[in-house]
A = this chain, B = another copy of it.
Amino acid sequence: MGSLDEYFKCLSDRERAIFEGAISMGALFHQFTGTPVNQNTLESLKTAIEDSIRLQPSIEDVKVGINLDDAENEFGYVSLEGKMLDVKITSKFKNVKAIIRMKYIDRLKYPLIYVENIKEE
């Protein structure tokens, strides 16, 4: 596609891996929260989220957990919320891998997006 280097010249390889993983986690949250879901549709929703986010630049792997334990209403489904999500995105740029997580932190009442690990090979 021709080089993108001009757009990222102020980033190291490590920073680029962090950058791309973070974009994709913000994207995942705001694209899919609100989706109707219950135990019967959990698997197809997880698969579609993983498949679609894996298309984004520098994304190597996406693992999505959805916790529906406390979520139930009289209609037999709920809208997907951030607090139900437990996600791990692995982004890779050159020889650096960043593991980005989203997890609901009870103490904060907030689905926190954070960095679990960064590996330079």
Cβ-defined contact, A7 with B82, below 8 A: no
List the 6 closest pairs (A to B, CB-CB), nearest first: A26-B26, A48-B48, A1-B74, A22-B22, A7-B114, A26-B27
Pair A115/B19 contact, Cβ less than 8 Å:
yes
Chain B residue, CB-CB nearest to A50: B44
| A18 in complex: contacting residue of B2, B7, B18, B56, CB < 8 Å | B18
Chain A: number of interface residues, binned into ranges: 35 or more
- A positions within 8 Å CB-CB of B: 1-2, 4, 7-8, 10-11, 14-15, 18-20, 22-31, 33-38, 40-41, 44-45, 47-49, 51-57, 72-77, 79, 81-82, 107-110, 112-115, 117-118
